[in-house]
Structure 1
């Protein structure tokens, strides 16, 4: 497999033939946001918006990781998931 960057890894997720689990999707989301934007400095969503709260928490769980570190973890996770879902 050729060397992958963040964009090609994100594009690869669109080729999955099955939807990853919510846990996997949230981990992908959190790592992607950390890799592209760094630490989450947005306001926590309201208590009844469960989807937004889950995404917020997934990103918050990556706090303190460098963008490079988050990007490497994201790419590694996509590679592992692609073996399962493509």
Structure 2
């Protein structure tokens, strides 16, 4: 199975987790997904009162320089770890 196939499967698998992952895990998944699909962060940091938006932006910006293939592999690995620890629906 190619890396793109594994990534696409992981994107579907994350929707089937038995419970919601922790906030830290959600931010990690978000950042890796954005880095894998878009590349380096290309937007301005959200305003001071947008706490959720800033947290997401900071997480994604923290992946700057990571190649899209490396981000896909890390995403697949993270979802597999969450699937093992949380389980599927």
TM bin, normalised by shorter chain, reads over 0.9
Mark the runs of 5 or more structure 1 residues left unpaired by the alignment.
none
Partner in structure 1 of residue 9 of structure 2? 8
How far the C-alpha of 1:49 sits from its partner, in A, is 0.5
Partner SS for 2:29: helix
How far the C-alpha of 1:85 sits from its partner, in A, is 1.4
Runs of 4+ in structure 1 deviating by more than 4 angstroms, as ranges, are none
* Structure-2-length-normalised TM-score: 0.90
Distance across 2 between alignment mates of 1:5 and 1:75: 7
RMSD of aligned C-alpha atoms?
A: 1.3
Counting matched residue pairs gives 85
* Structure-1-length-normalised TM-score: 0.93
Mark the runs of 5 or more structure 2 residues left unpaired by the alignment.
none
